[in-house]
Chain A
Amino acid sequence: MTIAEDSVLLREGLVRLLDEHGLEVVGTAGTADKLLVLVANEQPDVAIVDIRLPPTHTDEGMRAALEIRASYAETAVLVLSQYVEVGLAMQLLGDSADGAGYLLKDRVANVNEFIDAVKRVAGGGSAIDPTIVSALISKQRNRDPIDRLTPREREVLTLMAEGRSNQGIAGELVVTLRAVEKYVSSIFAKLDMPRTNTDSKRVLAVLLYLRG
């Protein structure tokens, strides 16, 4: 695991947080260039990247993330940002949500969810910030066929889009795995979407669907 974050305070906090949860941090970087060197040398499972990095603090982090996604298939990328943009999420995912995450920095405060997201991304899954998903879903509000979903189905759809597994969704909503599976097949039927094999494929499909 590597971390690229120019704020020392936050970087050290993250390192300790991950350590405490048994995730080994093999290196930290303050700039995008150092991050790329680190990734090339260490081949970590996950690179956690701040979207704004020196020198210009504009899109250096984002470009580094895309570079890692393109060149190091073994390394998953979790982008942290002070703002979340639908467009950036779609840019980051490209044609696959495997091993990709994009979260608001604020999420680090909710330790369990954050660690879960890091582990999910490290395991080849994905983590999309709830803000993005809820914005996309509310955009489709009052429109067929989203309108035909029950409130519960909409909750499940949101969690699916965030990258949660059926198991995760069941835990979150405190229902059985079977119930979640039932909701999922009902959602796919109502939205007339083809079933997908993996959780991350499901994420991309749902996001593309919601984006319209």
Chain B
Amino acid sequence: MRVLMPSSAAVDRYLGEPSRLAVHVIGLAGLAAGLILILLADLSDGLSQPGLHAALACWVTLPYLFAGAIAWRQRPESRLGLLMFCAGTGTFVNFLIWANNDLLFTIGLATQFLPPLLFLHVFLAFPTGRLTSRLDRLVVGSAYATSLATVTALLLGFSAPRNRLAIADLPDTASLVWRADLLSVSALMLAGIAVLIRRRLSRPRPLRRAIGYVVDSFSLGLLMIALLLLAGMLRWTALQDPLRLATFSIVGLAPIVFLAGLLQMRLSRGSVVRLIEELGVNPGPIELEQALARALRDPSVKLAYWLSDFGLYSNTDGREMDVSDRDDRTATPVTRDGTPVAMLLHAPELNDEPDLLAAVATATAITIHNAQLQVELRARVQELRGSRNRILDAERRERRRLERDLHDGAQQRLLALSLELGKLQEDLRLEPALSSRVEMLRRELAAGLAELRDLASGIHPAAVTNHGLTVALESLVTRASIPVEIVGDIQRLPEAVELAAFFLVCEGLANVAKHANARSAVIELRHTGDTLVVDLTDDGIGGATTINGSGLRGLADRVEALGGRLDVWSPAGGGTRLKARIPCE
């Protein structure tokens, strides 16, 4: 398992992104450098073929300057662009050796080995522009250290008398130091190749990234440089010219290839943007895996979800998954706020692009987190709906029980009592004074019974449960203050549904009587499929809402508790329409 650090791009931004103006200046400077090289070669006294030399000089210098500038501008988070630009500059300076002026010649001489050193640095630092391993830094550091030998050779009088740095006149020693310098630079080039080969063997480039191979093949340039330097030292004159041509060709092409490599990584970043767009439409687990495979261009991508309750990773079916690293697979953890969310299983080659992996992992974390939130939210809603149902159900049962108790108990007893009183009154008809007192008691009792009956039906409208919605609604409509028409006839439905519809019409008609100032109303009942539709329309003044009228809100709550919905249309002056859809499962 590899732990990904977040992209260090932000940290390295201190180098900054060159402005458009700076890029233009660099471009002009590059053109000027080209002209100067041509002039140097043309005016030089020591060159046999000034045209060929000028062309070769331009060929190895200008691509570094231009590709470096472009890469610097396009990938500011990679230091490679700046590095390539420096390599171009160093190469340019090195060609000052052609100058007839001794000072310029000395500068060119002193920087003779700078281009190979910079090339070595560029090759080892591709693609990030940074030397990541200690070995890389050791090789490149040693390479730069050889400059001390170059300076020493110059101080000792190498290539005197034109060498203006000479403070001693020891030409043999100077030549020896120079050749040792040459040898060590060549050896470091070969060491560079060894480092590259070792790196490739430990992290093979993905097959599908053809450009990676091209970049690799350009490490041959280092070998060519080493050979060229050795040929110079060993004075293989016959080999020198063709070697130089081949070396310069490869070394001059390298920055273009590097630039292409960098830009291709830029495309990978584009694929992350696409991924985020795709994930924005809330994919299912399978779509998520497919989107990840596309973004990483790795069809073998798998996602293992972390189940914190069980302490293991599972696939989408809930089966446990082994997420340990294997030869053909690497696991990259996907975390959110430091806690594991999932594990991204992918081809090990992708480790070459830590930025891409980190971006994809972050996008994945956000998506999974969102999905988890949604699942949790849905579960909560389900739980709440269930408990609301159970509460209402319990309330309903309790009310029914209370009504039954009243009916079977107090009401029956009082009825029997009032019957006895009636008979007593009849027996006392010859004694008017007593009879009228009993009559008074009987009337009191009758009033009490009526109140008890209202109370009982307020607790639970037994007529709805016992005889159905249609019968109960007819009585309701008969008692209404305005003419109400009932349209549609329905069969018996589950008690909860009938009661909800009854209360809806009750409250609705009460509202009509209180607020609507209506002349008439219509109740439409329809039972279609598994849904009861209750439509209550009046021709009143409108303006009712479920928001402030607690009565309507309560009705909506009851209907929604049964999984239904209540819609209210109540334009000012346009009447009010309540439409409830109640599922009858």
Interfacial residues, chain A to chain B (CB-CB below 8 A): 7, 9-10, 13-14, 16-17, 20, 51-52, 57-59, 62, 82-88, 91, 105-106, 108-112, 114, 135-136, 139, 143, 212
Interface code B459-480, partner A: CB below 8 Å = 1, 0 otherwise? 0001101110011101101111
Asked if A85 meets B407 with Cβ closer than 8 Å, knowing A59-B466, A59-B467, A106-B418, the reply is no
Chain A residue numbers with a CB within 8 Å of B407 are: 52, 57, 82
Q: How far is the CA of A105 from the CA of B418 in the complex (A)?
A: 10
Chain B residue numbers with a CB within 8 Å of A7 are: 408, 412, 415-416
Asked if A87 meets B475 with Cβ closer than 8 Å, knowing A58-B466, A109-B421, the reply is yes
Interface code B438-469, partner A: CB below 8 Å = 1, 0 otherwise? 00001001100110010011000011011100
Chain B residue numbers with a CB within 8 Å of A52 are: 407, 462, 466
Contact yes or no, A105 B415, CB < 8 A: yes
Q: How far is the CA of A171 from the CA of B422 in the complex (A)?
A: 20
Partner of A86, one of B419, B474, B483: B474
In terms of DSSP, what is the predominant structure of the interface of chain A? helix
Asked if A86 meets B413 with Cβ closer than 8 Å, knowing A17-B423, A58-B465, A111-B423, the reply is no
Contact yes or no, A112 B467, CB < 8 A: no
Partner of A135, one of B420, B470, B478: B478
Contact yes or no, A14 B419, CB < 8 A: yes
Interfacial residues, chain B to chain A (CB-CB below 8 A): 404, 407-408, 411-413, 415-416, 418-423, 425-426, 442, 445-446, 449-450, 453, 456-457, 462-463, 465-467, 470-472, 474-475, 477-480, 483
Partner of A109, one of B419, B456, B457, B479: B419
Interchain pairs with CB closer than 8 A, number: 102
Chain B residue numbers with a CB within 8 Å of A109 are: 415, 418-419, 421-422, 442, 445-446
Q: How far is the CA of A17 from the CA of B426 in the complex (A)?
A: 10
Q: How far is the CA of A105 from the CA of B421 in the complex (A)?
A: 14
Q: Smallest CB–CB gap between A196 and chain B, Å?
A: 23
Chain B residue numbers with a CB within 8 Å of A111 are: 422-423, 425-426
Contact yes or no, B412 A10, CB < 8 A: yes
Chain A residue numbers with a CB within 8 Å of B446 are: 106, 109
For the complex of A and B, list the 10 residue pairs with the smallest distance between their C-beta atoms, beginning with the closest.
A87-B471, A109-B418, A87-B474, A9-B416, A58-B466, A7-B412, A109-B422, A13-B419, A111-B422, A85-B475
Q: How far is the CA of A82 from the CA of B421 in the complex (A)?
A: 18
Contact yes or no, A108 B415, CB < 8 A: yes
Q: How far is the CA of A143 from the CA of B483 in the complex (A)?
A: 10
Contact yes or no, A62 B425, CB < 8 A: no
Q: How far is the CA of A140 from the CA of B446 in the complex (A)?
A: 27
Contact yes or no, A86 B416, CB < 8 A: no
Q: How far is the CA of A136 from the CA of B426 in the complex (A)?
A: 32
Contact yes or no, B478 A86, CB < 8 A: yes
Contact yes or no, A17 B478, CB < 8 A: no
Contact yes or no, A106 B450, CB < 8 A: yes
Identify 12 residue pairs between A and B in the complex whose beta-carbon atoms are under 8 Å apart, listed by A's number: A9-B416, A10-B415, A14-B419, A58-B467, A82-B453, A85-B475, A87-B471, A87-B475, A88-B463, A108-B422, A109-B446, A136-B478
Query: 18 new A-B pairs (CB below 8 Å) besides A86-B475, A139-B478?
Result: A9-B412, A13-B416, A13-B419, A17-B419, A51-B466, A52-B466, A62-B466, A82-B462, A85-B467, A85-B471, A86-B474, A87-B472, A88-B463, A88-B471, A109-B418, A114-B422, A135-B478, A136-B478
